[in-house]
Each structure stands twice: as structure tokens, then as C-alpha cells.
Amino acid sequence: MLIAWSKGADLLMDVTDLAGLESIADVRGPREYRLEAVVEMVTRLLCDLVQQGVRAVLGWRCAGWMGWRRSRGAMDIGQGSNSVIAQILATALGADVRDLALVGPDTDVTPDAGKTSAPRQTFVSGNAAWLAGVSLRAMILERCNAAVDAVLRFGRGVVEVADGAGVHRLELADLAPDGEGYVLRAEERYDPPTLPLDANGQGAPYAQFGYAAHLVVVEVDLKLGLVKPLRFVAAHDVGRAINPLLVEGQVQGGIAQGLGMALPEEYLPGRTENLHGYLIPTIGDVPPIETLIIEEANAHGPYGATGLGEHVLIPTAPAILNAIRHATGVAVTRVPATPSRVRAALREAGYEGRCEPGKDPLRCLPGDVLHRRWPRGGV
């Protein structure tokens, strides 16, 4: 990560998904939730955090253009790392996120942040950003001999530092640049605290874990085998929601992906050649989703954050299969639970689809199937 300040042009901020964002504290608020659902699936999820350091570099550059430069190698593939890492940095530095200009990822000019997978960029690159922001802020305060709680304001070619003793001005033109043109620079690296496995397979290969509970209500057509999710409630412990709106987006996208895994998506070697026969859910297939953001701060995460990646995908399909069993008494043990598979499972359980008009279809199931149904979900 590289952040720089230089003179010669207007403030520039080239991050499309930062519009309207403030520091972490400005996008958060109290939330109250009430859980009501039929079937629940609680899963303890493992985060894919490899032991790979991520470097963060911040600085002020004395030539070219005016603005903060934040260079980072973290690739944003839609999960929102551009926004989240910028918010973490802005909060640590005491700057406005709108003062940041994003550079990268480009291995010619930015450090290597490793792969973008699971929740690792918020946790690993976020920590590097936090360390670099704290370090650069300390440099500024030291030069101005200002208090630790001083307020920083960034203008064209100048930084104003206000504390109880007054306002201090740091003129960038008065500072000598280094070989790369930076007048102030902070470079930090973060390695997750992990331990390799020993001969007995014991150790701490991951720095943090994720926790989630999914609840889903489904409707099952006993004659056709069609399964229709009606409502999802997803509770996720993210440590600290740096950007609650992005958390909700991650949850909604993960449930849509898990719904596809559970119901319509099936690859048949030699037969599936395009998306015409490989059925991906559309927004019309996704039921209402209620997101419950649980915040139990992680001791190692930036501001307590742990991130949110495949946590949402993992419990979605099991929750749907549990709901099918809860509704019918029949267990479907293979995904996707296509209508033909659900119908075959019902037939195997003794349900032939014959039922008197007006009678509850479940009462047409054999007694042993009804006995296997349970009132409160689970496996």
C-alpha cells in the first residue's frame, strides 16, 4: 500500500465506490433485530487466511500532483476492498476518505498483497493499512510537536494540525523529498499470527475464524418436487462492520450463489456446454434476505474486523436441504436438489403423489416418514 501527498494539481480521488463514505464511525449506527424462522443451520466457518505478509507504504510526494496517494496491491473483484481498506486507512490517519486517490493494483508501483480470496484482504491488507496510517500520523504529529489527539486537515501543499496549543502548519515544500519524491513515507507489513502444524496435526494455521447462522423458509411442491425459498435470515459475526452496506451486499450475493449450488446449478460432463443448460439463479429467484450483523471484535483485526468471504456461501445449501427435510420428512443428500431428485426421494420414501382432494399432502406420506419430521430444524 502506498499513500502519498504531493503538490502541483487539484485534489484527486479516483475510486468509484468511495462516493458518500466517511470514516468508519460515520457509516455505522445501532441496529436491533428479531430472529424468526423455521429452520436453522449454524456453521463454524474457517477463513482462508494464509501466512503471507502484506506491505503498506504511505507517503507525501513533493512533485507531480496534489493529493493523497494510496497504492495497494489488493485486487478488488467486487467485494469492496477499495472502499474498506481506504476507510481503515482514513480512520487511522485522521483524514477524510475523499482525500485519497487510489493507485494500483500494479506490481510495478505497488506492493504485492497476495491473492484476493476468502476475507483475507480486509483482515490482512486492512491491518497493513491501519499500521501505515498510524505510522504516518505519528510522523506528522512529531514534526509539529502536536498532541496525540490533534485534528489533521489537509490542504493544497500544507497540513494543518490543530491541538490545545493552537494550529500548526506543515508546509510540504519545506520538506526534502527522498529518491522517489516522497517527503513523508510510512511502510508497514502485516503477517497474520499463525503457527505451523506439528507432528500431531496441532497448531494455529489460521489467524481468525468466522461464525454464521442461516435460517431459511422453503416451500416444497410434493407432486412436482419443486423447491422455492421464501425467506432467508443470515446472521454473521464480522468482528467489526467497517462498511455495513458492503456486508449486506456480501451476504446477499453469497446467498444467491449458495441458492444456485443447492437447487438449479448442475454440471453434466459432456452435456453442459453453455449457460443455456446450466441454470444460474436470477434476482427473481432470490427471496427476501434479512442480514443480521453481529460484531464481536477480533483481537487481531483492524478495528476488530474479520472480513466476510465464503462464510455466506457455505451454510446456505445445508440450510436449504435441512428445510426440505423439515417440510417433507425426506432427506435429500445430493446437490443440486433438482425437482427430479426431490421427487425421487419422495417416491423412495413411499409418497406416490396420490392424495384425497382437500387433504393435507403431508398426511398422505407413510407414517414412518411423518415420524422422521421434527419441529425445529437441524440435522
- pLDDT score, position 102: 76
The dihedral through the CA atoms of 49, 52, 58, 61 has a sign that is negative
- pLDDT score, position 15: 29
CB 38 within 8 A of CB 326: yes
Per cent of the chain over pLDDT 70 is 68
Could you tell me the three cell numbers for 241? 462492520
Per cent of the chain over pLDDT 90 is 43
Threshold 0.85, pTM exceeds? no
Which residue type sits at 69?
A: R
How many CB atoms are closer than 10 A to CB 23? Answer: 20
> Would you list the domain boundaries of the chain?
2-190, 209-372
Q: Any idea which fold 209-372 has?
A: Aldehyde Oxidoreductase; domain 4 (3.30.365)
d(C-alpha 34, C-alpha 191), whole Å: 38
How many CB atoms are closer than 10 A to CB 314? Answer: 21
Q: What is the pLDDT of residues 128-160, one digit of tens each?
A: 889 999 999 999 999 999 999 999 998 888 899
Correct CATH for 2-190 of 3.40.50.920, 3.90.280.10, 2.40.440.10, 3.30.365.10: 3.30.365.10
The pLDDT of residue 220 is above 60: yes
Q: What is the pLDDT of residues 78-102, one digit of tens each?
A: 666 778 888 999 999 999 988 887 7
Average pLDDT estimate for 60-87? 58
Question: Which is more confident, 56 or 307?
Answer: 307
pLDDT band of residue 112 (cuts 50, 70, 90) is low
Among 47-51, 173-177, 183-187, the minimum mean pLDDT is found in: 47-51
d(C-alpha 324, C-alpha 333), whole Å: 11
d(C-alpha 191, C-alpha 188), whole Å: 10
Q: Which residues are catalytic?
A: 310
Among 10-24, 201-215, 324-338, the minimum mean pLDDT is found in: 10-24
Please tell me what DSSP assigns to residue 180: T
